[in-house]
C-alpha cells in the first residue's frame, strides 16, 4: 500500500514537472514570435528560437512550431537556411501534422521561381567604428571588429549576436600599460577559416604596425610582416587563392601607397604611389586573384572618382567605371559576375550594379537602390548580402544670444546654416559682424575617407554665400578647416592638408579668390591652432615631434620670419591660441602638458605667462578646451567637458585678470567647439556635434543582385 501511494505521488510530481517544462517552452516560443511578428527584430527572434530547440528538443509540438518560425524568420531575412528548417521539421516531426502541412506549403513556394524582394535590415548593437575597422566573413557567419574597451580583435556570431575576444594583448584603456597595443582593420580569407588584421604597437622608443593572421579557432597569431613608422594601414583585401593581401598604407615621411603583401614570406611590393590621390574607399581582388579593383580620382584636380582595375603583375590600370559623376566601389561578387558601386550620376547618391565578364563590363549599370547615404562596405557575403556601416556623427554651426552685460546665454541654440546639414563646422565671425565663415563638407566620401571641404562665406543679413571648393582640389588640398579673419576682413586663414598627409596654413583673398600658402609643416611637425594678427602677423602653436617640444610662435606672413614666444615640452592633445580684440595679448589653452589643462594669458610680443585658470590633473585622452575673448577684452569664454561625464560640455566665463569661472547657461552633449563671438557681444557661434565618429549603424542589404539569366 505504501509503495503504491509513493508511486502515485511520483507520477503526479512528474506530470507537474513535464507540464511546467511544456509551459516554459510555450512561453519562450511566444516571446520569440513577439520579436518576429510585432517588433520585427529577426535576429533576436532567431536567437530565441535556437535556444528553444536546444533546451526543449523533446517537446515535439513546441519544437515543430519553433522550426516553422525559424524557417519563416530566415525566409524574411532572405537566407537559404529557410528551406533547411522547413525540411528538418517535415523529417523530424512527421506526427505534428498541422505544422508539417504548413512547412510543405512554404517549401513548395520556395522551390518555385519567384521575384526576390530587396530588403535592408538594421542590425542591433553595432560595435564602435564598425565602418572603419569591421569585416564580415564571406560565409556571413562572423563579424571581426575592434573592441574599443580593450583594443583586442573580437568576433561576433551574426546569427546569435554573441561576441568573443580573439586576441588578448590589447592595452586600450589600461592606464598601467607601459606600451600601447591595439587592433586595426581586419580581413577574412575566402574560405572564412582565417582572419588577418593590423596590430598597432607604440612604446617609448618606436611605433610600428604588424600584419598578423590567425585561424577561426584562435591560438597564437602569425606575424606576416611589419612596417616601422607607419601611421595607418587599411582597405585590406585577401586574394581568393590566399597568396596576397592588398592594402592602403600611410607611412610617415613617405607618400601614401597601395601595397601587395605576400602571405607566404611577408614581402611587400608597392602597386601604386597615391601622391595627391585620396585613399580608395575599398579595394577588392578579382576572382582570378590576378587583379585588384578600387576607386580613384579621375584626375587630381577634381573630386569625382572612377573605378579602375589593376593587373598586380604588371601594374597596368584600365577603367571599369568611367563617368563624369562621382563613383566609388562597394563590392565585387564571389563569382566575379557583379560589380557593386555608389554613384551620384542621377543627382543623388544611389547603389548601382553592373555585370562583369573577367575584367570587362557587360551592358549598362542598373540603379538598384536610389537615395542611399554615404555608406562604407563592411563585407559582401558569398550569398550576395552586402553589410555596410553608416556613421551618424554630425556637426553643425549654431548660435545663441548673449546678454552683453552679464555674459549669460539668453536663448536656446539655433542653426545658423541649414544647407548641407550635418557637415558644417569651424565657424568664425568677421570683425565687422557682417559675415560668417565656416567649412562645409561636400562630396560623397563616407567616413573615415570623408574628404572634400568647401570654405563658405555667408552674408548674415541676406543669407547669400560665396563658396570656394574646387579651387582647393586644384591645389591638391583634400581637407580644410577655417582659421581666422584678417583685421581688415580681406583675408581668411585656413588649415589645409593634401592627400599625402602634408599640412599647412593658407590664406585666401576673398575679393580675388587668390590662395596663398603661408606655412608648410615639415614631416615631423604638427600645427595645433592659430590666430591672424595686425600687420600681416600670424600667431600659431605647433609641435616638433623630432625635438619633443611644442611652441607658440609669431610669424611675419610676408617674409616668413618667426619669433618663438613660448615653449613647452611636447603637448599630447593640443594648444589653442586666440588673440585679444586689441591684439595686445594672447590667450592659449593647454591640453596635455604634464597632465594639466589650463588657460593662460601672455603679451602678444612675448613675455611672462599668467595662468588664469587651472583644471587640475586629467587622465590620458580627455579632450581639450575651446576659448574666445569677449569683445571688451575683459573675459575669456571657454567650453570644456564635464570630468564626471565626458560627453557633456559646459560653457564658462572667467575674468582675464583671474578669478573663479562661472557657468553662463549652455550645456550640450558631444562638445561646444570653435567658439566665435560677434563684435557687439550679442551672439556666440559654435560648432556642435550630434554624436561621436564611433557612432555607427550596421545594416545588411539582401536580395539586391539581379537573378542569373
For the chain, what is the total number of helices (H) and then of strands (E)? 7, 48
Domain extent, residue 221, equals 119-392+696-702
Q: At what angle are helices 2-33 and 42-55 packed, to 10 degrees?
A: 160
Residues 300, 352 within the same domain: yes
The reply to whether 71 falls in a domain is: yes
**Strands, sheet with 683-689, edge to edge from the N-terminal-most edge strand:** 414-415, 395-401, 683-689, 672-677
Residues 100, 141 within the same domain: no
Last residue of a domain, one of 88, 111, 134: 111
- pLDDT value of residue 131: 62
The reply to whether 641 falls in a domain is: no
Q: What end-to-end distance do the CA atoms of the chain give, in Å?
A: 78
Domain count, the chain: 2
Residues 135, 246 within the same domain: yes
Residue holding cell 588673440? 579
* Residues 6+ away with beta carbon under 8 Å from 324: 304, 345
Distances (CA, A) of 130 to 123, 161, 193, 378, 613: 12, 15, 21, 8, 39
Residues 81, 194 within the same domain: no
Residue holding cell 580644410? 480
- pLDDT value of residue 277: 72
Last residue of a domain, one of 111, 127, 148: 111
Residues 197, 308 within the same domain: yes
The reply to whether 473 falls in a domain is: no
Residues 302, 384 within the same domain: yes
Low-confidence ranges of the chain (pLDDT < 70): 1-22, 78-79, 112-116, 128-129, 131-132, 204, 230, 252-253, 276, 447-450, 499-501, 528, 570-574, 591-596, 616-624, 643, 646, 691-694, 708-709
Burial code (b: 16+ CB inside 10 Å, e: under 16) for 572-587 equals ebbbbbbbbeebebbb
The reply to whether 679 falls in a domain is: no
- pLDDT value of residue 525: 83
Residue holding cell 562572423? 142
Last residue of a domain, one of 56, 79, 111: 111
Residues 102, 143 within the same domain: no
The reply to whether 404 falls in a domain is: no
The reply to whether 502 falls in a domain is: no
Residues 261, 306 within the same domain: yes
**CATH for 38:** 1.25.40
User: Do residues 304 and 349 lie in contact, with contact meaning Cβ atoms separated by under 8 Å?
Assistant: no
- pLDDT value of residue 114: 53
Residues 326, 254 within the same domain: yes
- pLDDT value of residue 641: 83
Residues 174, 52 within the same domain: no
CA gap 533, 578 in Å, rounded: 10
**CATH for 388:** 2.120.10.30
Residues 140, 255 within the same domain: yes
* Residues 6+ away with beta carbon under 8 Å from 401: 409, 410, 411, 682, 683
User: Do residues 598 and 590 lie in contact, with contact meaning Cβ atoms separated by under 8 Å?
Assistant: yes
Beta bridge partners of 202: 180, 207
The reply to whether 255 falls in a domain is: yes
Residues 372, 283 within the same domain: yes
The reply to whether 541 falls in a domain is: no
Give the other-Cβ count within 10 Å of 601's Cβ: 18
* Residues 6+ away with beta carbon under 8 Å from 463: none
Amino acid at each position: 500500500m505504501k509503495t503504491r501511494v509513493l508511486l502515485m505521488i511520483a507520477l503526479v510530481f512528474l506530470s507537474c514537472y513535464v507540464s511546467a517544462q511544456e509551459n516554459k517552452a510555450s512561453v519562450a516560443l511566444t516571446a520569440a514570435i513577439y520579436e518576429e511578428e510585432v517588433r520585427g527584430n529577426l535576429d533576436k527572434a532567431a536567437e530565441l528560437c535556437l535556444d528553444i530547440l536546444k533546451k526543449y528538443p523533446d517537446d515535439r509540438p513546441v519544437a515543430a512550431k519553433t522550426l516553422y518560425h525559424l524557417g519563416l524568420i530566415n525566409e524574411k531575412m532572405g537566407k537559404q537556411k529557410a528551406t533547411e528548417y522547413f525540411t528538418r521539421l517535415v523529417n523530424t516531426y512527421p506526427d505534428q501534422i498541422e505544422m508539417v502541412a504548413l512547412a510543405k506549403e512554404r517549401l513548395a513556394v520556395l522551390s518555385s521561381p519567384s521575384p526576390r524582394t530587396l530588403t535592408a535590415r538594421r542590425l542591433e548593437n553595432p560595435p564602435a567604428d564598425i565602418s572603419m575597422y569591421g569585416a564580415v566573413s564571406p560565409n556571413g557567419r562572423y563579424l571581426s571588429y575592434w573592441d574599443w574597451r580593450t583594443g583586442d580583435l573580437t568576433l561576433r556570431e551574426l546569427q546569435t549576436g554573441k561576441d568573443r575576444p580573439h586576441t588578448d594583448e590589447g592595452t586600450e584603456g589600461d592606464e598601467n600599460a607601459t606600451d600601447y597595443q591595439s587592433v586595426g582593420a581586419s580581413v577574412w580569407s575566402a574560405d572564412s577559416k582565417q582572419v588577418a588584421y593590423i596590430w598597432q604597437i607604440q612604446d617609448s622608443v618606436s611605433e610600428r604596425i604588424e600584419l598578423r593572421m590567425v585561424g577561426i579557432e584562435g591560438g597564437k597569431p602569425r606575424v606576416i610582416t611589419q612596417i616601422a613608422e607607419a601611421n595607418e594601414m587599411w582597405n585590406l583585401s585577401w586574394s581568393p587563392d590566399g597568396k596576397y593581401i592588398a592594402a592602403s598604407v600611410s607611412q610617415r615621411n613617405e607618400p601614401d601607397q597601395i601595397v601587395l603583401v605576400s602571405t607566404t614570406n611577408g614581402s611587400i611590393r608597392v602597386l601604386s604611389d597615391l601622391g595627391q590621390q585620396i585613399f580608395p574607399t575599398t579595394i577588392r581582388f578579382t576572382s582570378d586573384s590576378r587583379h585588384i579593383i578600387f576607386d580613384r580620382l579621375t584626375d587630381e584636380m577634381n573630386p569625382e572618382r572612377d573605378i579602375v582595375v589593376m593587373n598586380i603583375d604588371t601594374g597596368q590600370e584600365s577603367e571599369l567605371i568611367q563617368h563624369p559623376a562621382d563613383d566609388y566601389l562597394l563590392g565585387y561578387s564571389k563569382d566575379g559576375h557583379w560589380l557593386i558601386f555608389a554613384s551620384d550620376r542621377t543627382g543623388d547618391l544611389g547603389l548601382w550594379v553592373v555585370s562583369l565578364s573577367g575584367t570587362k563590363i557587360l551592358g549598362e549599370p542598373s540603379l538598384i537602390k536610389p537615395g542611399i547615404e554615404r555608406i562604407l562596405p563592411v563585407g559582401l557575403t558569398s550569398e550576395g548580402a552586402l553589410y555596410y556601416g553608416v556613421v551618424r556623427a554630425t556637426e553643425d554651426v549654431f548660435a545663441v544670444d548673449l546678454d552683453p552685460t552679464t555674459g549669460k546665454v539668453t536663448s536656446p541654440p539655433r542653426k545658423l546654416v541649414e544647407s548641407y546639414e550635418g557637415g558644417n563646422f569651424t565657424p568664425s565671425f568677421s570683425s565687422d559682424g557682417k559675415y560668417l565663415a565656416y567649412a562645409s563638407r561636400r562630396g560623397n566620401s563616407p567616413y573615415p575617407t570623408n574628404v572634400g571641404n568647401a570654405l563658405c562665406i555667408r552674408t548674415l543679413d541676406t543669407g547669400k554665400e560665396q563658396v570656394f571648393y574646387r579651387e582647393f582640389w586644384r591645389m591638391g588640398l583634400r581637407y580644410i578647416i577655417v582659421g581666422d579673419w584678417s583685421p581688415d576682413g580681406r583675408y581668411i586663414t585656413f588649415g589645409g592638408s593634401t592627400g599625402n598627409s602634408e599640412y599647412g596654413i593658407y590664406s585666401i583673398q576673398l575679393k580675388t579668390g587668390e590662395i596663398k600658402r603661408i606655412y608648410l609643416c615639415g614631416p615631423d611637425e604638427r600645427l595645433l591652432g592659430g590666430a591672424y594678427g595686425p600687420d600681416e602677423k600670424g600667431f600659431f602653436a605647433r609641435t616638433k615631434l623630432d625635438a619633443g617640444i611644442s611652441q607658440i610662435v609669431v610669424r611675419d606672413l610676408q617674409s616668413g620670419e618667426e619669433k618663438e614666444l613660448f615653449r613647452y615640452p611636447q603637448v599630447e592633445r593640443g594648444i589653442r591660441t586666440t588673440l585679444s580684440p586689441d591684439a595686445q595679448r594672447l590667450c592659449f589653452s593647454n591640453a596635455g602638458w604634464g597632465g594639466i589643462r589650463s588657460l593662460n594669458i601672455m603679451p602678444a610680443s612675448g613675455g611672462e605667462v599668467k595662468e588664469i585658470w587651472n583644471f587640475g590633473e586629467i587622465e590620458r585622452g580627455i579632450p581639450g578646451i575651446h576659448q574666445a575673448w569677449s569683445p571688451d577684452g575683459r573675459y575669456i569664454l571657454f567650453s570644456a567637458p564635464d570630468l564626471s561625464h565626458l560627453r557633456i560640455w559646459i560653457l564658462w566665463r572667467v575674468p582675464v585678470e583671474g578669478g573663479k569661472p562661472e557657468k553662463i547657461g549652455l550645456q550640450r552633449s558631444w562638445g561646444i567647439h570653435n567658439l566665435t563671438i560677434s563684435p557687439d557681444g550679442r551672439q556666440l557661434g559654435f560648432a556642435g556635434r550630434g554624436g561621436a565618429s564611433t557612432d555607427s549603424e550596421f545594416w545588411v542589404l539582401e536580395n539586391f543582385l539581379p537573378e542569373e539569366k
